[in-house]
Amino acid sequence: MGESIDKLLFTPGPLTTSATVKQAMLRDMGSRDFEFLAVVRDIRQRLLSLAAVSSPDYEAIPMQGSGTFALESVIGSVVPPAGKILIAVNGAYGRRLVQIASALNIANGVIEWEEHQPAAPIEIERVLGSDPSFTHVAVVHCETSTGMINPVREIGEVVSKRARRYIVDAMSSFGGIPLNMSECGIDYLISSANKCIEGVPGFAFVLARREALLSTAGFARSLSLDLLAQWKGLESNGQFRFTPPTHTLLAFHQALKELEEEGGVERRAARYRANCEILLRGMREMGFEEYLRPEFQGYIITSFRYPRHPQFKFETFYGRLSENGYVIYPGKTSKADCFRIGNIGHIFPDDIRQLLITVRQTLHEMGVELSAATRSVGRGEKR
């Protein structure tokens, strides 16, 4: 049998990774080995640097499992028994935060916007001002169901002014969008190994303000997802409390080195931005329209509306692109038919150009010729 070739993943994660990140996993290492503990220690320090903060004021806490595991760890560990969390929602991942809080029987309130609108700090401030029972505020930085970028700095100013704790789901943005955790007033930032840092799935991580973290003793609603206990274990002997994903952590360590070699978050952001600009230009030339208005659109991932053309069937479109080695993502909006194309991972402008060529060829094979009358389903409509 011939060697299989990886498809390029134009998705929000897992992502295409470099050969050297993959190769880093080809070692077996004991979870208590001194060399492995040094790797974990270096990972934690590097993560704080990416957020422009440092110990002892801030701590980096890796957590086994996907990003949602880490989100559940934070919400379930830092909101006190009598606390209440205000969750900003303008997409599927904001709604997931609500699901987590509700499943844990944590009192919560929801402030919601349409999926094509960003969260508004002034409205969050209004709610906090009228309801002193809220102890925490949570928001998604990059709402990857659409590509929306929410104003986390401005929201942080409101949360700080109202003396609440601030939780930011930076799953698809951290490492790809420059962010200073202290300047944004963030108490807990959550992201995952297999996003903009370009590692592989297997663990997520929490960056926490130390003072906030230490105030949460006795709050945890889970044994394995107890954030404070996880941090204490790492601090006491450098080890995870339960079996860590050793190979994934080795890959992530290599990915962090490659991020530094690329020039840090600013340079990686520039590559992702270039990917996005080429993608948008090419898709517009073919007649596709984005779901979001340009001023709300980030460069992490873009949602495109389905064309009205009767020959366009997303399953066919997706399947043919995949057969040619290009994997995109279905849409995740509730009021419009869309698909998504990501610009992150170990992909470069030439990869975007080749994707665009394949999209054009696929449309031709499907008999889809876009005109002004067939370009897209209108805002808020559903086919």
Q: What is the pLDDT of residue 78?
A: 98
- Model pLDDT for residues 196-225, shown as the tens digit of each residue: 999 999 999 999 999 999 999 999 999 999
Q: Locate 311 and state its tokens.
A: 């020959």
- Model pLDDT for residues 71-101, shown as the tens digit of each residue: 999 999 999 999 999 999 999 999 999 999 9
Q: Mean pLDDT over residues 238-254, rounded?
A: 97
- Model pLDDT for residues 250-308, shown as the tens digit of each residue: 999 999 999 999 999 999 999 999 999 999 999 999 999 999 999 999 999 999 999 99
Q: What is the pLDDT of residue 334?
A: 79
Q: Locate 226 and state its tokens.
A: 């107890």
Q: What is the pLDDT of residue 316?
A: 97
Within this chain, domains 18-261 and 265-366 share the same CATH topology: no
Cα angle, residue 183 at apex, residues 179 and 185 outer, rounded to 5°: 100
Q: Locate 336 and state its tokens.
A: 């419009």
Would you list the domain boundaries of the chain? 18-261, 265-366
Whether residue 370 contacts residue 287, with contact meaning beta carbons closer than 8 Å, is answered with: yes
Whether residue 196 contacts residue 57, with contact meaning beta carbons closer than 8 Å, is answered with: no
Band (pLDDT 50/70/90 cuts) for residue 375 is low
Band (pLDDT 50/70/90 cuts) for residue 3 is low
The class that CATH gives domain 18-261 is alpha beta
Residue 340 backbone dihedrals phi, psi, to 5 degrees: -125, 145
- Model pLDDT for residues 30-44, shown as the tens digit of each residue: 999 999 999 999 999
Q: What is the pLDDT of residue 204?
A: 98
d(CA 16, CA 66): 17
Q: What is the pLDDT of residue 1?
A: 40
DSSP-assigned states of every residue in 107-134 = EEEEEE--TTS---HHHHHHHHHH-TT-
d(CA 261, CA 259): 5
303: three-class secondary structure by DSSP: strand
Average pLDDT, the chain: 95
The class that CATH gives domain 265-366 is alpha beta
Q: What is the pLDDT of residue 376?
A: 56
This prediction's pTM: 0.95
